[in-house]
Amino acid sequence: MNEVIEEKISTEYKYGFVTDIDADNAPKGLNEDIIRFISAKKNEPKWMLVYRLEAFRHWLTMDEPDWAHVSYQKPDFQDIIYYSAPKPKKVLKSLDEVDPELLKTFQKLGISILEQERLSGVESRVAMDVIVDSVSVKTTFKETLAEKGIIFCSFGEAIQEHPELVKKYMSSVVPYTDNFYAALNSAVFTDGSFCYIPKGVRCPMELSTYFRIEAAGTGQFERTLIIADEDSYVSYLEGCTAPMRDENQLHAAVVELVAHKNAQIKYSTVQNWYPGDKEGKGGIFNFVTKRGICIEENSKISWTQVETGSAITWKYPSVILKGDNSIGEFYSVAITNNYQQADTGTKMIHIGKNTKSTIISKGISAGFSNNSYRGLVRIAKGAENARNFSQCDSLLMGDKCGAHTFPYIEIKNNTAVVEHEATTSKIGEDQLFYCKQRGIDNEKAIGLIVNGYCKDVLSQLPMEFAVEAQKLLEVSLEGSVG
Amino acid sequence: MLSIKNLHASIDGKEILKGINLEIKVGEVHAIMGPNGSGKSTLAAVLAGRSEYDVTEGEIIYNGENLLELEAEDRAREGVFLAFQYPIEIPGVSNINFLKTAIGEIRAYKGLDPMKAKDFLMMLKEKQKLVEIDRALVSRSINEGFSGGEKKRNEIFQMAMLEPKLSILDETDSGLDIDALRIVANGVNKLKSKENATIIITHYQRLLDYIIPDFVHILHNGKIVKSGLKELALELEEKGYDFIKEEVEA
């Protein structure tokens, strides 16, 4: 099969457009030549190109899903630039070469990579990979991590340096056949982060990737792969921003996590893509596939997400609990304001015996927005004594927004215990007045009440992130009441 | 300190207060009594600045300022405190965090530096003792799952922490058993000083056994129909509200 495709590639290639290897952007549009351009640009081995083309051909046979509770003008996939390198920053030797504007943005968010580099050698720090548009700009602390045998690098680098690991694990959790956006991502992904924690190693610092879409009309398709080998532990943070633009931009990432025996992966996201303006113009379409597998016994995967940005969010970080006694967790805060739409939740697939999962979802809707929780708990036939607890709360602010809950439960083993709790509430005038009577104004009061409402989720975030997340919640809801 | 003149207020077009006149000097404790529906809680709400009530006539001067022109949060920052009849629950927000935020806001309003964490904790400890509130309650979410008595006690604790100039206690005695009543009253008595004033709104006389008012006013149908010294409360207890009604209508 592969040979046939490879042959096809080499024959078709000469009919393709002339690859301008010096170009920083691919031309708009998507076809096999663009994929070859990306692959050539990244100097990829042939197997990678073959994978991309297989994914692309499969993607052509698929339809964009429309079951989510969101409505939008479907993107024109031929009107997107699939590869864009930030211009002068192709090869950066040090942080001094990073665009000062970009550094300013990091500082605004309290993520100062400069600071972090300066603090090398000091305890409690964050190793960071920065992805601007499609290219990994800088990975900090690589050497420090290498001493422990930890691999933390850009995905592109991993393809070059650790092809055996990439080949083994990529697509093993999210195959390109999984869904429309995963197939698209598999065809055109340009970079992302790769992380491997060897046996018995507890990663001594938070690993972090910071994503940013900069250029206009660009799509961002990054790929993240994290492997925690036996008895290892890693905590991974992901942050995202994009500048304000009138048009919608597409972000379709794939994140795959693999936890081996006794390993634990904690994955935290603070998502703050540009949500569009007050009238609902512009903003990021965030169509992301995130999935982890607890492939062996006693492993654990926790997803924590704070979703405040994006015009549309379509995202279901999931865990396949294959190993016996494995644990999956999903903690989520999703805020929608103005005309934002979010359809987010999780899937917990119980396959192994004595597997446990916890779902805590807090949705907050304000303005004219719509916020949906969609979650699946599946207990397979052989999953003896599986346990799930789900709690889905919705908070409404004002009377023009919507909150929806779509829980799906499939149980094929009668020893399972599955609990589901759901509440819907409103921020009361009484609560706001109570705060005011103590000297706390409206904005601060909303921040306080919302943070209290989300406490169970926020407390799961690492310290550095929790502070940023709290601020974001307040900013996202500015002017939403009164 | 507080001067209310010919205050008329209504809600949804219905007039509740129909010309209240009241003078309160610093250091004084005033009790406002009256039957259900006489306008006691409305008076408290108007003083605190609840926006549902429209003030249609009259004025409220507080420390030389027109209170009605201040937003509710600014009234609080200027030292007006309302102990709620039904304290509100705010899940997930600890009392400590709430009070820290409130004190921070009040200090910022006055142009003062934020309170040092150490000083705040010292104050917390000291006031906790003063109003005899359980430490566990203080670190729990605001009023969430508190019993009626615990909620009322928590109001007094907040009052102790915020050190207001004018405290309005709206039916603080309702729902309290005799022990809780004594503890709450003790707290209020300890917080009383020459620099502040207290308005106690109550239906029954029993709280006034513990907190001795300087003046008692009887509210009936939106007006203060009788004012007197603490003995008036006893008389009222004895004869019931009907005697006031008869007197007014006669």
pLDDT above 60 for A18 = no
pLDDT tens by residue, B161-217: 999 999 999 999 888 888 888 888 998 999 999 999 999 999 888 888 899 999 999
Query: What is the predicted pLDDT for the residue at B18?
Result: 95
Answer yes or no: is pLDDT of A358 > 60. yes
Residue B142 sits in which domain range?
Answer: 2-28+50-202
Beta strands in A155-215 (DSSP E): 191-197, 206-212
Decide: B157 and B131 in contact? Cβ < 8 Å. Answer: yes
DSSP-assigned states of every residue in chain B: -EEEEEEEEEETTEEEEEEEEEEE-TT-EEEEE--TTSSHHHHHHHHHT-TTEEEEEEEEEETTEEGGGS-HHHHHHTTEEEE-SSPPPEEEEEHHHHHHHHHHHHHHHTTPPPPPHHHHHHHHHHHHHHTT--HHHHHSEETTT--HHHHHHHHHHHHHHH--SEEEEESTTTT--HHHHHHHHHHHHHH--TT-EEEEEESSSTHHHHS--SEEEEEETTEEEEEE-THHHHHHHHH-HHHHHHHHH-
Residues 6+ apart with CB under 8 A from A204: A148
Token digits of residue A322: 């294959």
Question: A90 falls in which pLDDT band (50, 70, 90)?
Answer: very low
CA A25 – CA A218 distance, rounded (Å): 9
Least confident among A273-277, B136-140, B165-169: A273-277
pLDDT > 60? residue B94: yes
Residues 377-436 of A with CB under 8 A from B: 428, 430-431, 433-436
- Residue A76 phi, psi dihedral angles, 5° rounding: -90, 105
A residues 173..232 contacting B (CB < 8 A): none
Band (pLDDT 50/70/90 cuts) for residue A7 is very low
Q: Please state, as a whole number, how many other Cβ atoms lie within 10 Å of the Cβ of residue A43.
A: 11
Look at A76-90, A315-329, A377-391, A395-409 and tell me which has the smallest mean pLDDT.
A76-90
Q: How confident is the model at residue B126 (pLDDT cuts 50, 70, 90)?
A: very high
Which of B88, B141, B162 shows the shortest C-beta gap to A434?
Answer: B88
Residue B232 lies in a domain: no
Residue B218 pLDDT exceeds 70: yes
Cross-chain Cβ contact A448/B98 below 8 Å: yes
CA A34-A35-A36 angle, to 5 degrees, is 90
What lies within 8 Å, CB to CB, of B199 at 6+ separation is B24, B30, B31, B32, B44, B47, B166, B167, B168, B169
Q: Is the pLDDT of residue B239 over 60?
A: yes
Place of tokens 């790769």: A194
Domain count, chain B: 1
- Residue B76: which CATH number? 3.40.50.300
Beta bridge partners of A345: A374
Residue at B209 is within a domain: no
Check whether A125 has a pLDDT greater than 50: no
pLDDT of amino acid A104: 56
> How high is the pLDDT of residue B32?
95
| Mean pLDDT of all residues in A148-168 | 92
Distance from CA of A427 to the nearest CA of B (A): 10
pLDDT at res. B123: 94
Q: Kindly report, residue by residue over A232-260, the tens digit of the pLDDT.
A: 999 988 876 655 555 667 888 999 999 99
Nearest CA in chain A to B51: A433
Classify residue B233: in a domain, yes or no.
Answer: no
H or E element that contains A426: strand A417-426
Distance of CA B54 to the CA centre of its chain: 20
Tokens of A249: 């931009």
Backbone angles phi, psi at A223, to 5 degrees: -130, 130
Q: Flag if A437 and B87 touch (Cβ within 8 Å).
A: no
- Do A318 and A290 contact (CB within 8 A), yes or no? yes
Decide if B88 is inside a domain.
yes
Is residue B174, in this structure, part of any structural domain at all? yes
CA atoms in the 13 A half-sphere facing the CB of B53: 23
In chain B, which residues have their Cβ closer than 8 Å to the Cβ of A428? 88
Q: Assess whether pLDDT exceeds 60 at residue A17.
A: no
Q: Which two tokens stand for residue A412?
A: 């094929």
Residue ranges of chain B whose CB lies within 8 Å of a chain A CB: 48-50, 71-73, 76-77, 81-82, 84, 87-88, 90-93, 97-99, 101-103, 105-106, 109, 141, 158, 162
**Residue B109 and residue A439: Cβ atoms within 8 Å?**
yes
Amino acid identity, position B125: K
| pLDDT of the residue at B23 | 96
Q: What is the dihedral of CA A466, A250, A182, A362, to 10 degrees?
A: 30
Chain B residues with beta carbon closer than 8 angstroms to that of A438 = 76, 98-99, 102, 158, 162
Above 60 in pLDDT, residue A138? no
The type of residue at B101 is: T
Residue A211 pLDDT greater than 70, yes or no: no
Q: What's the token pair of residue B113?
A: 């530096």
pLDDT the model gives residue A120? 31
pLDDT at B10 over 90: yes
The whole-number average pLDDT for the span B31-40 is 91
Using CB atoms within 10 Å of the CB of residue B171, give its burial: 0 to 12 exposed, 13 to 18 middle, 19+ buried.
buried
The rounded distance, in Å, linking the Cα atoms of A391 and A422 is 6
pLDDT for B79 equals 96
Nearest by Cα to A148 from A203, A219, A82: A203
Does residue B101 sit within a domain?
Answer: yes
At residue A481, the 3 state secondary structure works out as coil
B98 with A430: Cβ contact below 8 A: no
Checking B4-8 for CB contacts under 8 A at 24+ apart, the result is: B4/B58, B4/B59, B4/B60, B5/B58, B5/B59, B5/B60, B5/B61, B6/B57, B6/B58, B6/B59, B7/B43, B7/B46, B7/B55, B7/B57, B7/B58, B7/B59, B7/B60, B8/B55, B8/B56, B8/B57, B8/B58
* Average confidence (pLDDT) over A368-382: 92
- Of the residues A434, A438, A448, A458, the best mutation for testing chain B's interface (the one with the most B CB atoms within 10 Å of its CB) is A438
Residue B167 lies in a domain: yes
B101: nearest CB among A430, A434, A440: A440
Whether A103 and A132 have beta carbons less than 8 Å apart is answered as no
- Looking at per-residue confidence, does A122 or A326 come out higher? A326
Which residues are bridge partners to A289 per DSSP?
Answer: A254
ipTM score for this prediction: 0.95
Distance from the A395 Cα atom to the nearest Cα atom in chain B, whole angstroms:
12
Between A210 and A394, residue with greater pLDDT: A394
In angstroms, the CA A348 to CA B210 distance is 59
CA distance A441 to chain B (A): 6
Higher pLDDT, A277 or A162: A162
pLDDT at A119 over 70: no
Mean pLDDT, residues A394-420? 91
The answer on pLDDT for B119 being more than 70 is: yes
Cβ-defined contact of B90 to A437 (cutoff 8 Å): no
User: Whole-prediction pTM value?
Assistant: 0.79
CB-based contact (8 Å) between A17 and chain B? no
The closest CB to that of B101, out of A437, A442, A444, belongs to A444
pLDDT tops 60 at residue B144: yes
Q: Is residue B39 part of a domain?
A: no
